[in-house]
């Protein structure tokens, strides 16, 4: 099987960090061409540092990390310290990274990479707000035809919202960027809260994480133990949803997930519902089916994969 060549666009975030680690731990299936940071879970000044911390923790200081957009296209930045802590990566005490931040802007890196690599060979994996991706598509419309696909975490339908009654965080932070991406014509796979809320960091699974030897097991446990507290209190569940690693897990084991090709649009105007993903699950409208919308996850299979791979770092 050919390796999936990806750019990870991210706002770490404990679940983003685990997604990055899963990608780094899977070199037979995934080649990470670079990591681009965006403002989201925390301001950009934190997320780019967090991305480099995770590269070093994973033994991959060779990965190039680029800082991107520090605010949404049109709105003020909305962060989530109540979930992720003030740094975006609260929980473990990780040293400041020594690997350098690249001087090139993340958007320019995305554009240059897509123009230089053979068309249809690079997948974009946005794990945060879609500001970097939308900016690249707007600045360089020619790259749309060169993207293999975009596999993203964002949106919700039946689960409602986590940043408003109807809006999931990544889409809520920059709904205008999300709408640009969804209308780009690129093949899109979307992991919304409808599926990520099936993948919970229950205590029995956390015990397996803690048993992973070495610093990776300890740090992952400490990150997720901090991260799950907010969602456990909010939802009353055993564990919190592990959103972003689903994107990477699907690239490695697509059989772990099931979905459906549908139309998805984003509300960008209404003060009441801004950021809502309107999912035409039952194909009621004639709007084009622009998204493969994930609906079901094999949670046990997902955690088996995750723990096996993290133990390899």
The domains of the chain are located at 4-195+244-293
Q: What single string gives the DSSP state of each residue in 54-97?
A: HHHHTT-TTS-EEE--SS-SSSPP---HHHH-TTSS-SS-PPPP
pLDDT band at 1 (very low <50, low <70, confident <90, very high): low
Across the range 175-197, mean pLDDT stands at 98
**Strand pairing report for 291-297 and 188-191:** parallel
Q: Say whether domain 4-195+244-293 belongs to CATH 1.10.150.120.
A: no
Q: How far apart are CA 163 and CA 206, in angstroms?
A: 26
**Matching residue, tokens 């493969």:** 292
Global pTM reads 0.98
pLDDT digits (tens, 9 = 90+) for 189-235: 999 999 999 999 999 999 999 999 999 999 999 999 999 999 999 99
Tell me which residues are annotated as active site.
243
Question: Is residue 71 pLDDT above 70, yes or no?
Answer: yes
The dihedral through the CA atoms of 8, 12, 15, 20 has a sign that is positive
Contacts of 308 (CB under 8 A, 6+ apart): none
């Amino acid at each position: 099987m050919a390796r999936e060549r990806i750019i990870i666009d991210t706002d770490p975030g404990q679940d983003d960090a685990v997604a990055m680690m899963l990608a780094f731990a899977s070199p037979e299936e995934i080649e990470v061409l670079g990591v681009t940071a965006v403002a989201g879970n925390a301001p950009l000044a934190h997320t780019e540092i967090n991305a480099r911390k995770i590269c070093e923790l994973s033994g991959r200081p060779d990965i190039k990390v680029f800082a991107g957009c520090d605010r949404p296209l049109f709105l003020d930045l909305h962060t989530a310290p109540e979930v992720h802590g003030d740094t975006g990566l609260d929980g473990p005490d990780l040293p400041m990274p020594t690997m350098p931040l690249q001087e090139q802007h993340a958007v320019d890196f995305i554009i240059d990479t897509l123009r230089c690599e053979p068309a249809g060979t690079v997948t974009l994996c946005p794990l945060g707000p879609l500001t970097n991706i939308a900016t690249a598509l707007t600045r360089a419309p020619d790259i749309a035809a060169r993207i293999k696909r975009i596999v993203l975490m964002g949106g919700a339908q039946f689960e409602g919202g986590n940043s408003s009654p109807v809006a999931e965080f990544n889409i809520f932070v920059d709904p205008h960027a999300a709408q640009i991406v969804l209308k780009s014509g690129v093949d899109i796979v979307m992991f919304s809260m409808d599926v990520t809320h099936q993948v919970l960091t229950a205590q029995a699974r956390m015990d397996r994480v803690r048993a992973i030897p070495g610093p990776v097991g300890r740090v992952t446990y400490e990150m997720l133990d901090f991260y799950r507290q907010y969602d456990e209190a909010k939802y009353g569940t055993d564990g919190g949803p592990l959103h972003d690693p689903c994107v990477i897990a699907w690239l490695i084991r697509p059989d772990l997930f099931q979905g459906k090709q549908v139309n998805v649009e984003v509300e960008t105007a209404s003060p009441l519902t801004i950021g809502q993903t309107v999912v035409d699950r039952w194909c009621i409208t004639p709007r084009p089916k622009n998204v493969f919308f994930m609906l079901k996850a094999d949670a046990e299979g997902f955690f088996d994969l995750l723990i096996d791979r993290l133990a390899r770092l």
